[in-house]
Amino acid sequence: MKIGFIGLGIMGSRMAGNLQKRGHSLIVHNRTREKAEPLLSHGAIWADSPAEAAAQAEIIFTMLAPTHAVAEAALGKEGFLPGFEPGRLWVDCSTVDPSFSREMAEAARAHGIRFLGAPVTGSRSQAALATLVFWVGGAAEDLESCRPLLECMGNRVAHVGGPGMGAALKIVINQLLGTGMAAFAEGLVLGESLGLSRSVLMGALLGGPAVAPFLTFKRERIETGNYGPADFPLRWLQKDLHLAALSAYDSGAAMPLTNVAKEIYQLAIQEGHADDDFSAIYDYLARNAGAKRPLSEPVEQPA
């Protein structure tokens, strides 16, 4: 099957690579062509625009951010929807808000194209190892028609519901990632201000009931202060908190914690952390919210 893949960033490049490793022919497009080179050197065909990709592909995957880049790829001046043969399938794996995903489903339908919103859980290494989880919103028969392709890129494919429902679940997950990361960072700052060493805090908290399991994988970054290259860029985590806030506005849910966390990430972006891994929120808070007057010098404590 000829697969069009648009968006070859951290995630898309690795997902497309796994389709290629499993023997699929790729037609690829990315705003920055050089990111396509590894795929091109293994036989992928370059398309100068999304429209050019659609002219040759039997199915199209998109993996883009921010949200308007998805709309532009589909419906912009050189967008793929108008030239894509009716009856074909578009699978959008980008993290977008549910109402946008439903809008894209409707735009696709107007062009006779089938649509699935299939955002993923997992980051750089899960994308590389093909262990992503797909949260799919759309028609069950459309999912079944592309399930083998999703299984080249992930090890779990969940049908969440109709259009927009995969996006809804993904937004909830990232709302928890964003607030959980910020809360943990603030907890570290508090503990350190009280004289607890970072290693005691990490040893006591990580793997315990008070913090989320994903934080264990952020330990090394926080301990070394090495936040690049990002697994998940802080700017996209802030984007997802914004999408959660927008979605909550639509649904009437109040999101006080999410909105405060979103603004903390915005402040970190303004301080230069946009392209860092989102765990750099610790660095931002430690610099700006850390105690100016430690209660005591840190003392050696048993782990």
Ligand X SMILES: NC(=O)c1ccc[n+]([C@@H]2O[C@H](COP(=O)([O-])OP(=O)(O)OC[C@H]3O[C@@H](n4cnc5c(N)ncnc54)[C@H](OP(=O)(O)O)[C@@H]3O)[C@@H](O)[C@H]2O)c1
Residues that bind ligand X (CB under 6 A): 7-12, 30-32, 35, 63-65, 69, 72, 94-95, 120, 123, 231-233, 236
Out of 2, 35, 77, 170, which one is annotated catalytic? 170
Nearer to ligand X, 166 or 233 (CB): 233
Residue indicated by tokens 């992503």: 132
Q: What tokens does 67 get?
A: 């949200």
Compare residues 201 and 238 and give the one whose CB is closer to ligand X. Answer: 238
For every residue of 115-143, which 3-state class applies, written as one string? Answer: EEECCEECCHHHHHHCCEEEEEECCHHHH
Cα–Cα distance, 93 to 22 (Å, whole number):
19
Strands (DSSP E) along 150-279, which ranges? 154-161
Minimum separation from the CB atom of position 281 to ligand X (A): 15
The residues, any chain, with a CB within 8 Å of residue 297's CB and separated by 6 or more, are: 195
> 160 or 189, CB closer to ligand X?
160
Per-residue buried b or exposed e for 251-286, using 16+ beta carbons within 10 Å of the residue's own CB: eeeebeebeebbebbbebbeeebbebbbbbbbbbbb
Minimum gap (Å) between residue 297 Cβ and ligand X: 38
CB nearer to ligand X: give 272 or 294: 272
Q: How many CB atoms lie within 10 A of CB 181?
A: 26
- The residue nearest ligand X at its CB is 9
The nearest distance, CB 141 to ligand X, in angstroms, is 25
The answer to whether 148 and 100 have CB atoms below 8 angstroms apart is no
Q: For ligand X, which is the closer residue by CB, 142 or 231?
A: 231
Residue of 94, 99, 93, 66 lying closest to 248 (CA atoms): 99
Residue 170 appears among annotated catalytic residues: yes
| Residues 179, 193: Cα–Cα separation, whole Å | 21
Nearest distance from residue 49's CB to ligand X, in Å?
11
Nearer to ligand X, 180 or 191 (CB): 180
For the four alpha carbons of 68, 8, 40 and 43, in that order, the dihedral sign comes to negative
| Smallest separation (angstroms) from ligand X to the CB of 282 | 17
Shortest distance (Å) from residue 109 CB to ligand X:
22
Count of alpha carbons within 13 Å of 85, Cβ hemisphere only?
7
Q: Which two tokens stand for residue 82?
A: 């108008």
- The residues that are catalytic are 170
